[in-house]
């Protein structure tokens, strides 16, 4: 349960949360447009999209809602940020990908990929630092780890499973996937504390929710 906070801090949290979620949707869209590889969950969601004709952003929403169902036996409680994460990111992705064409030149694709990874790190710092609840996928990892498992091992196992499933479904796995995997941890480690609202109980608890 979130501790009571002053109204100005709550306002900052809300602005930061929704700014982060919008930026997250834009960052993943850049990775999709680069066609150089996605993060594991989006490889899976893109694979589903290619087999069904349902847009990847819509699949991000559906998968997020499905993952929330797995919270029930883990006794995880969603917050406003959790529910917003499940809805906002996918909606921004569908809108962006419907309006922005994929760049044809490889140089522009590399820029889109690198920009997407960097923006994703900023977005992660914003929405997790707001302290209004982890995303569905983050909460699943934390909930399983709370049962006595290593968070690192749980995260690796889940992401390896969805990555393999997405690759088999035809999702984009490439250099962008490797750059994301190598960069998002250090970026989150640096940026989450910088964006953490000062009235939160501590940076360590927030870091444990990082993707």
- 100 φ/ψ angles, rounded to the nearest 5 degrees: -105, 125
The mean pLDDT of 129-149, rounded to a whole number, is 88
Rounded to an integer, what distance in angstroms lies between the CA atom of residue 93 and that of residue 97?
6
Q: Tell whether 84 is covered by a domain.
A: yes
| pLDDT attached to residue 152 | 82
Contact 69, 78 (CB under 8 A): no
| pLDDT attached to residue 5 | 56
| pLDDT attached to residue 148 | 87
Contact 145, 154 (CB under 8 A): yes
Q: Tell whether 2 is covered by a domain.
A: no
Q: How far is CA 112 from CA 59, 73, 81, 90, 126, in A?
A: 22, 39, 27, 19, 20
Q: Tell whether 3 is covered by a domain.
A: no
| pLDDT attached to residue 77 | 87
| pLDDT attached to residue 1 | 45
Q: Tell whether 167 is covered by a domain.
A: yes
Q: Tell whether 1 is covered by a domain.
A: no
> Which tens digit of pLDDT belongs to each residue from 52-84?
999 999 999 999 999 999 998 888 888 999 999
| pLDDT attached to residue 197 | 80
> Which tens digit of pLDDT belongs to each residue from 149-159?
888 888 889 99
Q: What is the residue-averaged pLDDT of the chain?
A: 89
Domain that holds residue 40: 8-207
| pLDDT attached to residue 198 | 66
Global confidence as pTM? 0.86
Domain count, the chain: 1
């Amino acid at each position: 349960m979130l501790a009571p906070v002053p109204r100005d801090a709550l306002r900052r949290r809300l602005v930061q949360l929704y700014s982060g979620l919008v930026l997250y949707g834009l960052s993943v869209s850049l990775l999709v447009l680069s066609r150089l590889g996605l993060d594991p969950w989006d490889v899976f969601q893109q694979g589903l999209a290619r087999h069904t004709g349902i847009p990847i952003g819509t699949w991000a929403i559906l998968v997020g809602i499905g993952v929330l169902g797995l919270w029930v036996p883990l006794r995880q409680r969603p917050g406003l940020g959790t529910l917003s994460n499940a809805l906002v990111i996918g909606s921004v992705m569908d809108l962006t990908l419907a309006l922005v064409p994929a760049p044809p030149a490889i140089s522009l694709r590399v820029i889109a990929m690198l920009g997407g990874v960097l923006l994703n790190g900023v977005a992660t710092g914003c929405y997790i630092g707001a302290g209004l609840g982890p995303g569905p996928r983050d909460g699943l990892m934390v909930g399983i780890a709370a049962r006595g498992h290593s968070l690192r091992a749980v995260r690796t196992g889940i992401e390896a499973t969805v990555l393999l499933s997405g690759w088999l479904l035809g999702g984009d796995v490439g250099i962008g996937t490797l750059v994301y995997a190598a960069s998002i941890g250090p970026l989150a480690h640096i940026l989450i504390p910088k964006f953490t609202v000062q009235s939160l109980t501590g940076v360590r608890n927030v870091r444990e929710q990082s993707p």
